[in-house]
Amino acid sequence: MPKQVDHHERRETIAQALWRVVEQQGWERATMREVAREAGVSLGQLQHYFTSRTAMLTFAMQFAADQTAERITRGLDALDHPPHPREALRVAITEMLPLRPGARATSRMNTAYVLEALHDEALRTQVSAGLRDGRAMVEGLIREAIADGHIASDRDPAVETDLILALTGFTPLLELSVITPQAALAAVDLHLDRLFSPAP
């Protein structure tokens, strides 16, 4: 009997191949033909799963988001239960920075995704929705920490959320070796210490 093909697994294989091409060669070189070569499939097989480069990128980014969520979940599981909100935020922030191989790959994919979305209205709407959902999750954590007395009650949760998310702006500085991972982590820890310090 012919071997049954796991279509979801095949899509993930193609997504991982796209990550590798983007990480090693950049988004401009990530043609469907090059990704097919990296994935070990024919161009026709790849086009059976993804009819366009944008469709391939969209799936790869959803897969990347799932991988990031899994890394965050594993990081949270390693903390005390329930985890202190400061530590939960630290895990979320650091997993969004390119500090480890898996996170570096997803970070570079994310950059390509955002750049592509600037020129594709449908993709822009989708990316915006994802970013808004992520921001809402962080703001929920901040509001809960304020309500529980971990953060001073006079803090503006919307502003604090934006400042937390601004820490992910270390990404290009890390990728281009402008700052070291140790420097980025020191800045993250200092900001969180200030945020969770008791009111004077």
Domain boundaries, the chain: 53-195
Provide the pLDDT for residue 46.
94
Angle at 91 between CA 86 and CA 93, to 5 degrees: 95
Give strand ranges (E) for the chain: none
Asked if residue 35 lies in contact with residue 109, where contact means CB atoms within 8 angstroms, the answer is: no
pTM of the model: 0.81
Cα(44)–Cα(165) distance, integer angstroms: 40
- Gap between the Cα atoms of 173 and 129, Å rounded: 26
- Please state which architecture CATH assigns to domain 53-195: Orthogonal Bundle (1.10)
pLDDT 10s digit of each residue in the chain, 200 long?
445 567 888 999 998 898 888 888 887 888 999 999 999 999 999 999 999 888 888 888 888 888 888 888 898 888 888 889 999 999 999 988 999 877 887 888 888 888 888 888 888 888 898 889 889 989 999 999 999 999 999 999 999 999 999 999 999 999 999 999 999 999 999 999 999 987 55
Contact 21, 30 (CB under 8 A): yes
pLDDT for 1: 47
* pLDDT the model gives residue 31: 92
Residue with tokens 């202190």: 84
